[in-house]
C-alpha cells in the first residue's frame, strides 16, 4: 500500500474517523476532510494522517480541496462518508429547511466532491491500474420507514447517484462501491438527528444487543477497497444481527427459540 492515498470525508468523528484510523493502520496515506479543524488536528496527531478543512456544501471549499490534492500528490481512492439526518418528522410536518440540508450534505456534496476529484482518480489509475469511489449511503436509501421523510428521500437519491455513476464509468478501471449501513451506534449521528437531545439519541440503541460500531463499517470500507482491483462490491448492506429491518429491531438478549 506504499504511496497509495485516500480521501475520507466526514472524517472528524464516527465512521469517518474510524475509517481514517484503519486506513492508516494499513499503511495508506490519508487525507481527512471535515469542517471542524480541532477534531481533524487531534485525529492527525493520533494517526499521522493529513487533513483539509472544508464545508462540502460550499463549492469554493470543494474547489480548494481539489486544488490542494492536485498540488500534493496522486489520489487513488475517495470515500464519500459525510452525511447526516435531521429529525423524524412526517412528510406532512417536515421542515423544508431540514430537507434542504439533508439533500445538500447527502447528495449534492457527494456529486460535487466526486466531480471535483474524478480527474485525479483517473490520472492515478493510469499508473496504479485502478482507482476507487466508495460512498456510504444507508439502508434508509433502500427501504422507506415512517419518520424517514427527508432522510429516506436524500439517501434514495444518493443511492441513485452511485448507480448512475457506475454506469457512466463503465469501461474505466474505476470501481464504484456503495456501503449501506443500518443501525450504527456512533457518538454523534443520532445526537445531531435529535437536535442534541441525548435521551432521545440513547433511546435509539436502548436494549439492542451489539449495535454496529463505527469500526465495523470502517472494516467493511477498507476491505472493499483493498480487494483485488477486478473485484467490485457494488453494494454492501450491513446491519447488526438484532436489526431485521428498519422497522424491526430486537431489544434484549438474542436467544435461540428451542
* Catalytic center residues: 151
For residue 134, give the nearest of 166, 102, 103, 171 by alpha carbon.
166
Task: Please choose, from the candidates 69, 97, 71, the residue with its C-alpha nearest in 3D space to the C-alpha of residue 9.
Answer: 69
CA distances to 36, 94, 96, 101 from 104, rounded to whole Å, are 18, 16, 12, 5
Q: Which three cell numbers stand for residue 214?
A: 463505527
User: What is the rounded distance in angstroms from the CA atom of residue 117 to the CA atom of residue 60?
Assistant: 14
Q: Per DSSP, what are the bridge partners of residue 212? A: 184
Helices (H), the chain: 14-25, 37-47, 59-72, 96-103, 109-128, 149-168, 189-193, 198-205, 214-226
Q: At what angle do helices 149-168 and 109-128 cross, to 10 degrees?
A: 30
Query: What are 8's strand-pairing partners?
Result: 32, 79
Give the CB-side neighbour count of residue 252, counting CA atoms within 13 A. Answer: 3
Amino acid at each position: 500500500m506504499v504511496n497509495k492515498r485516500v480521501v475520507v470525508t466526514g472524517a472528524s468523528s464516527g465512521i469517518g474517523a474510524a475509517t481514517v484510523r484503519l486506513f492508516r493502520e494499513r499503511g495508506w496515506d490519508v487525507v481527512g476532510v471535515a469542517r471542524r479543524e480541532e477534531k481533524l488536528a487531534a485525529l492527525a496527531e493520533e494517526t499521522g494522517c493529513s487533513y483539509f478543512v472544508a464545508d462540502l456544501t460550499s463549492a469554493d471549499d470543494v474547489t480548494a480541496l481539489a486544488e490542494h490534492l492536485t498540488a500534493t500528490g496522486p489520489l487513488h481512492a475517495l470515500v464519500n462518508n459525510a452525511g447526516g439526518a435531521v429529525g423524524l418528522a412526517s412528510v406532512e410536518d417536515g421542515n423544508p429547511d431540514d430537507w434542504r440540508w439533508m439533500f445538500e450534505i447527502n447528495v449534492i456534496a457527494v456529486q460535487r466532491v466526486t466531480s471535483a476529484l474524478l480527474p485525479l482518480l483517473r490520472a492515478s489509475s493510469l499508473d496504479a491500474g485502478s482507482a476507487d469511489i466508495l460512498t456510504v449511503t444507508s439502508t434508509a436509501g433502500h427501504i422507506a420507514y415512517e419518520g424517514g421523510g427527508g432522510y429516506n428521500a436524500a439517501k434514495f437519491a444518493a443511492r441513485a447517484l452511485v448507480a448512475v455513476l457506475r454506469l457512466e464509468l463503465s469501461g474505466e478501471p474505476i470501481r464504484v462501491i456503495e456501503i449501506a449501513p443500518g443501525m450504527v451506534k456512533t457518538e454523534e449521528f443520532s445526537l445531531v438527528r435529535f437536535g442534541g437531545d441525548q435521551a432521545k439519541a440513547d433511546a435509539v440503541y436502548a436494549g439492542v444487543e451489539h449495535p454496529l460500531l463505527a469500526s465495523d463499517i470502517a472494516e467493511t470500507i477498507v476491505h472493499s477497497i483493498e480487494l483485488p482491483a477486478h473485484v467490485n462490491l457494488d453494494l454492501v448492506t450491513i446491519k447488526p444481527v438484532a436489526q431485521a429491518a428498519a422497522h424491526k429491531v430486537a431489544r434484549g438478549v438474542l436467544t435461540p427459540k428451542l
